Structure 1
Amino acid sequence: MDLLPLAAARRDAALAGLDAASRADLGQFFTPVAVASLMAGLPRLPRTGVLRVLDPGAGSGVLSAAVVDRVRREAPDLEVALTAVEVDERLHGVLSRTLGDLEAAGARTRLVGGDVVDWALRTDERFDLVIQNPPYRKIRSGSALDRDLRVAGVAVPNIYAGFMALGSLLLDEGGQQVSITPRSWMNGAYFSAFRRALLDRCGIDAIHTFRSRSEVFGDLGVLQETIIVAATRGTAPPTVRLSSSADHRDAPVVRTVPYSQVVTDDFVFVPASEEDGAAVSWMERARCTLADLGLSVSTGRVVDFRSRDLLAAVPGERFAPMVYPANIVGGRVVHPRGALRKPQWLNAAPARSSGLLVPAGAYVLVKRFSAKEERRRIVAALWLDDRPAAFDNKLNYIHRAGHGLEKDVAAGLVTWLNSGRVDAYFRVFSGHTQVNAGDLRRMRFPDPERLRLLGGSGLDPDRAVEQIMGGAEVTAA
């Protein structure tokens, strides 16, 4: 019996029978068969005995079929005892048919109909392998789901991370978990507690990345950057297997790197290529954080639709410049910008305006969201003015205790952030398309002396960084 083609056909049939709205409510994203095979190929397989497998949120059973298919080919003397948990009753029929095929192939299977979180918090079962494509939806703080997870010591902002945490708790010592999820849990403040807890409990064995954002779940319209992570309950391994492919159909490029190059105290790097590894290694020569430099980063204070009564298209007496991301053009701030159809002035007279303004001085502005046509993920510019100013909420700004910076230091920071070296490094440790204030806090910067040299070099960012920091020249990604 050819298990995977049958599972693939059932996946497609199940998708056709579900409307997009109901799938969104449950956070369902059905696993393509090629992805399932890739995931099933990551865990270590014993040759004999019983492999206890959990497929939480099993859907149509594609991941379960991929595991049994691999075991049947590579370890025919290994018995599979598989538990598939699925809350959506509309999928129970198709899932039961897939499990029937697996029974015919020699596996022992069980379908648990119900909510994964509720079942996981009550069961005393333990597993050798958890393989999952968790649902993706935010968890409302204070909701019943949030409270239930916190009782189990799981504090997460999204249900996919909850599945990963619960899966790791259901593993026996030495058990393995393979999950395909967004990459967003690997860095940033939102997932820091979850990340620390997971990495204290499990060591990462392997990571697979996809260079295309749009192809992996293309039939579902998903543009989120996805990543596959295999981890083992217990001690961290000395090395991590990193692989990368354009999408789920291409043959992967594989490399092995020391564990310390992937997992740090702050986040998880994914140096999937030699170039990525070189970007991380090169950045070791920049040893300062913003905190080390006595600097801070904040998000712009003005949410324009909440301050409409204060905004104006033309300046008047006691009006301050209002700066948007679109005012940053070619690495510098253009204000006012004639092509920008936004009110570029803020009335500073009302008392509540004072909380929206920053004092006069030099600030480094960084776009939180980069436009498609921009070649770099990080876009920074120098704001220098002798008037207080207002910055839009879609900008981050670097300051010193709420005030401006020394001009040469600010100019050096802009040069550094706009360089290809920093862009290459940022892409390795961040799976986001946006640049968050937390990301900037965790990044590395040159010492003040080199920042001043960068700011006064008069060179374009790439040449300035190569000349002052050293190393072979790089180009934009």
Structure 2
Amino acid sequence: MDLLSLAAGRRDAGLAALDDGARADLGQFLTPIEVARLMAALPRLPRQGVLRVLDPGAGSGVLSAAVVDRVRREAPDLRLEVTAVEVDERLHGVLAQTLGSLEDVGVRTTLVRDDFVNWALGTDERFDLVIQNPPYRKIRSGSTLDRDLRSAGIIVPNIYAGFMALGSLLLADLGQQVSITPRSWMNGTYFSEFRRTLLTHLRIDCIHTFQSRSQVFGDLGVLQETIIVATTRGAIPQEVRLSSSLDHRDTPASRSVPYSQVVTDDFIFVPASDEDGAAVSWMERVRHTLADLGLTVSTGKVVGFRSRDLLTDRSGRHNAPMVYPANLVNAQVVHPRSTVRKPQWLRTAPAHASGLLVPAGSYVLVKRFSTKEERRRIVASLWSDDRAPAFDNKLNYIHQQGHGIDPRTAAGLVVWLNSKHVDDYFRVFSGHTQVNAGDLRRMKFPTLSQLRMLGESALSPDDAVEQIMGDSERYSVLRSSPRGSSSPRR
């Protein structure tokens, strides 16, 4: 059997030695052979000299074996030195076997039986290639791990990002790092500082996406959108190669795009297809943030389990509407709604309850979590009422300095957010179904006058956006059509 097949067999043996609870505690997701082969194909290989390889959280050594397998085929004169770091002693046996197989073909190997964070913070070694499938688990604020990482200037909410940051610090000049991780670090406020810091050291060469959420680590029951990113320390490429496949067994399709279309100040875009690229290009005509428009977005104030004593099923003079995501229907808020099983009113008599309300007026409500039944990631609806409402914590709401906004502007924002153009754009930079308030703050919007025109349009959201935003070819068709021929906006 070849090196990679032997390592894959040891991966299965390693998994058999781990119970689910222990694996969850360490955040372990051992790399399938096809993923390892795909990752090992991404870095550039010199033809001679020495390539120093680091495999953090090495598991059974599949990634190291994949690199060696490729080098033996493509650069046989290149000498290899592999350092594998693994803290779990239950995997040391299979990892040592894999490294022994690499030694048999002339590779110099080192097994570090230590926690990667501890080792990385103390080593002076530098590497030409870091290839890793880091663990995935949240970091508790103030924990020893959190303090250790912060001592190196690394502020991250999840250990996988810590591994990526440490790997970048251990690279020699022009060294490369290839990581398979969740896509969540590429957008949102939680990873914003990490994202900025990482991209001051590294430049993205290649991004590989998987269209299936469930297949890449399917044998481990993982339902997470994963992504492979290849980077170089110090170099600034003109283009980024984007590839995509259904899962790790499918043949990838690839394309190259300008670096500026992928890496921006706020997000990392992944326009893996021509359609994705078109979505980003289309949105370049829109330049305003909510802040530019004098608006902002906040998360609903009511957390259900903390406000049980205030919730009631009865309306009344001293009860305010309590609005949940389930009240959002077809761009409007239906309240009360018979199918909502939670109490849909909030008692306002206790003095502290008034702090949970927002003033009466018009607001745009956006679900923080879209469901699999919804065809759009962003689901927005209009609340406009002369009663002061309370909004659930699973809703974001757009407002003006804590008060309602102009009703026409609010209606236009609902049209804009519910359009296909915005949905396509959002999917390019967001790899999950959650819509964070930070994402909405960084997104681009039309001018106030354009939003008001959208709010007054009788066309569907898609047709209205194309008309108002100046899609000339589409607009000529719309202009010649009777006003009532398209489906209504609501």
**Which TM-score band applies after superposition, normalised by the shorter structure?**
over 0.9
Quote the Cα distance in structure 2 between the aligned partners of 1:51 and 1:72.
12
Q: Deviation per CA, 1:286-317: give whole Å up to 9, x if none.
A: 11100000000000000111111111111122
Q: Deviation per CA, 1:69-113: give whole Å up to 9, x if none.
A: 000000000011000000000000000011111111221111000
RMSD: 0.8
Structure 2 SS opposite 1:285: coil
Q: Which residue of 2 aligns with 1:461?
A: 461
Q: Which residue of 2 aligns with 1:412?
A: 412
Q: Which residue of 1 aligns with 2:89?
A: 89
Quote the Cα distance in structure 2 between the aligned partners of 1:256 and 1:182.
22
Q: Deviation per CA, 1:185-233: give whole Å up to 9, x if none.
A: 1111111111111101011000000011111011111111100000000
Moved more, 231-240 or 412-421: 231-240
Code of the aligned partner of 1:424: D
Q: Which residue of 1 aligns with 2:470?
A: 470
Q: Which runs of structure 1 show a deviation greater than 2 angstroms over 4 or more consecutive aligned residues? A: 470-473
Q: Deviation per CA, 1:402-424: give whole Å up to 9, x if none.
A: 00000000000000000000000
Q: Which residue of 2 aligns with 1:321?
A: 321
Structure 1 SS opposite 2:160: helix
Quote the Cα distance in structure 2 between the aligned partners of 1:213 and 1:116.
28
Identity %: 77
Code of the aligned partner of 1:181: T
Moved more, 100-109 or 174-183: 100-109
Code of the aligned partner of 2:116: V
Question: Is 2:221 aligned against 1:221?
Answer: yes
Q: Which residue of 2 aligns with 1:104?
A: 104
Quote the Cα distance in structure 2 between the aligned partners of 1:144 and 1:391.
37
Q: Which residue of 2 aligns with 1:195?
A: 195
Alignment map for 1:39-438 (pairs within 5 Å): 39-438=39-438
Structure 1 SS opposite 2:18: coil
Q: Deviation per CA, 1:145-172: give whole Å up to 9, x if none.
A: 1111111111111100000000000000
Q: Deviation per CA, 1:21-80: give whole Å up to 9, x if none.
A: 000000000101000000000000000011000000000000000000000000000011
Quote the Cα distance in structure 2 between the aligned partners of 1:36 and 1:380.
40
Moved more, 8-17 or 253-262: 8-17
Q: How far did 1:5 drift?
A: 1.1
Quote the Cα distance in structure 1 between the aligned partners of 2:7 and 2:433.
34
Q: How far did 1:331 drift?
A: 2.0
Quote the Cα distance in structure 2 between the aligned partners of 1:177 and 1:146.
23
Question: Is 2:441 aligned against 1:441?
Answer: yes
Quote the Cα distance in structure 2 between the aligned partners of 1:401 and 1:40.
51
Quote the Cα distance in structure 2 between the aligned partners of 1:221 and 1:469.
44
Q: Which residue of 2 aligns with 1:32?
A: 32
Quote the Cα distance in structure 1 between the aligned partners of 2:304 and 2:233.
47
Quote the Cα distance in structure 1 between the aligned partners of 2:295 and 2:115.
46
Quote the Cα distance in structure 1 between the aligned partners of 2:165 and 2:16.
31
Structure 1 SS opposite 2:284: helix
Q: Deviation per CA, 1:355-399: give whole Å up to 9, x if none.
A: 100000000000000111100000000000001000000000000
Scaled by the length of structure 2, the TM-score of the pair is 0.96
Quote the Cα distance in structure 1 between the aligned partners of 2:51 and 2:235.
21
Quote the Cα distance in structure 1 between the aligned partners of 2:142 and 2:434.
27
Structure 2 SS opposite 1:358: coil
Q: Deviation per CA, 1:454-477: give whole Å up to 9, x if none.
A: 00001111111111113377xxxx
Moved more, 10-19 or 108-117: 10-19
Code of the aligned partner of 1:384: S
Quote the Cα distance in structure 2 between the aligned partners of 1:467 and 1:152.
51
Quote the Cα distance in structure 2 between the aligned partners of 1:337 and 1:188.
32
Quote the Cα distance in structure 1 between the aligned partners of 2:305 and 2:81.
56
Structure 2 SS opposite 1:129: strand
Code of the aligned partner of 1:320: A
Quote the Cα distance in structure 2 between the aligned partners of 1:146 and 1:86.
20
Quote the Cα distance in structure 1 between the aligned partners of 2:434 and 2:149.
28
Q: Which residue of 2 aligns with 1:17?
A: 17
Q: How far did 1:182 drift?
A: 0.5
Q: How far did 1:235 drift?
A: 2.7
Q: How far did 1:4 drift?
A: 1.2
Structure 1 SS opposite 2:283: helix
Structure 1 unaligned blocks of 5 or more? none
Quote the Cα distance in structure 2 between the aligned partners of 1:357 and 1:299.
12
Q: How far did 1:267 drift?
A: 1.4
Structure 2 SS opposite 1:36: helix
Q: How far did 1:179 drift?
A: 0.2
Scaled by the length of structure 1, the TM-score of the pair is 0.98
Quote the Cα distance in structure 2 between the aligned partners of 1:79 and 1:413.
59
Quote the Cα distance in structure 1 between the aligned partners of 2:200 and 2:9.
39
Code of the aligned partner of 1:290: L
How many residue pairs get matched? 473
Quote the Cα distance in structure 2 between the aligned partners of 1:44 and 1:422.
36
Quote the Cα distance in structure 1 between the aligned partners of 2:406 and 2:162.
44
Structure 2 SS opposite 1:6: helix
